[in-house]
Amino acid sequence: MEITTWYLEQTAPADLVAVAQPAQPLTIMQAEQPTPEFSRFLYTAVGGPWHWRGRLPWTYRRWQEWLGKPGLETWVVYQHGTPAGYAELVPHDDGAIEVNSFGLLPAFVGKGIGRYFLWWVLDHAWQLTTTRVWLHTCSLDSPHALANYQARGLRVYDIKTGSEDLPDRPPGPWPGAELER
C-alpha cells in the first residue's frame, strides 16, 4: 500500500489558531508517572483503528525506556472521568518539541474534543521554551487529522511517500477487537 506522510510545524506561538472548548466538560491531566501498561493502553486504544503498529512488539523494558526519555510528557484528556485521548510531547536537542503521538479513542471522535485538545497541546508545547513545534501524520491516520492540524495553524514543510505491506484491517486495540468502519 502506498502511504503519504505529511510533516507539519509551527515556528512561532503566533501561528497557533485557537478554538473554543466543547460544551461537554473536559479535564486535561499530565500522566506524571506514566506506566508501560497505561501508555500501551493509550497507544493501542487511540492508534488501533489507524494501523499504529510500531510499538506493538515493544517489551515492558522498551516501554520503560521510552517513558524515561528526558522531558517526555504524556497528557491525557478525560471526559466524565474516562480517557478520551492522549498526546506525547518529546523535546529534541535542537530546541524543538515534537508531538509524537496525538489522538482520540474512537468513542470520542466527532465531538469537538480533538480540535480543542490539539489547540491545548500546541499551546502547552509553546510554553516549554521551544523554537518549533512539529508532528507528522500519514494517509493511514484519521481522514480528519491533516485538516485539524492545518486548522490549528500547523504548516506542511515536507511530504514523503512510500510503500508498506499492511494487513487488510488495522489491528484494533487488542486482537479480535477490530473496529468496523
Q: What is the model's pLDDT at position 136?
A: 96
Q: What is the model's pLDDT at position 113?
A: 95
Query: Residue 141: inside a domain, yes or no?
Result: yes
Query: Residue 171: inside a domain, yes or no?
Result: no
CATH code of the domain in which 81 resides: 3.40.630.30
Q: Which domain holds residue 155?
A: 2-162
Longest dimension (CA), the chain: 45
The arrangement of strands across the sheet holding 155-163 comes to 26-30, 73-79, 82-91, 96-104, 132-138, 2-10, 155-163
Query: Residue 176: inside a domain, yes or no?
Result: no
pTM of the model: 0.91
- Please tell me the total count of domains within the chain: 1
Cβ atoms within 10 Å of 25's Cβ, excluding its own: 9
The amino acid occupying position 68 is: G
Beta bridge partners of 98: 90, 134
Residue 117: which of 79, 62, 82 has the closest Cα? 79
Q: What is the model's pLDDT at position 71?
A: 96
Q: What is the model's pLDDT at position 181?
A: 47
CA distance 167 to 50: 12
Query: Residue 177: inside a domain, yes or no?
Result: no
Residue ranges for the chain with pLDDT beneath 50: 181
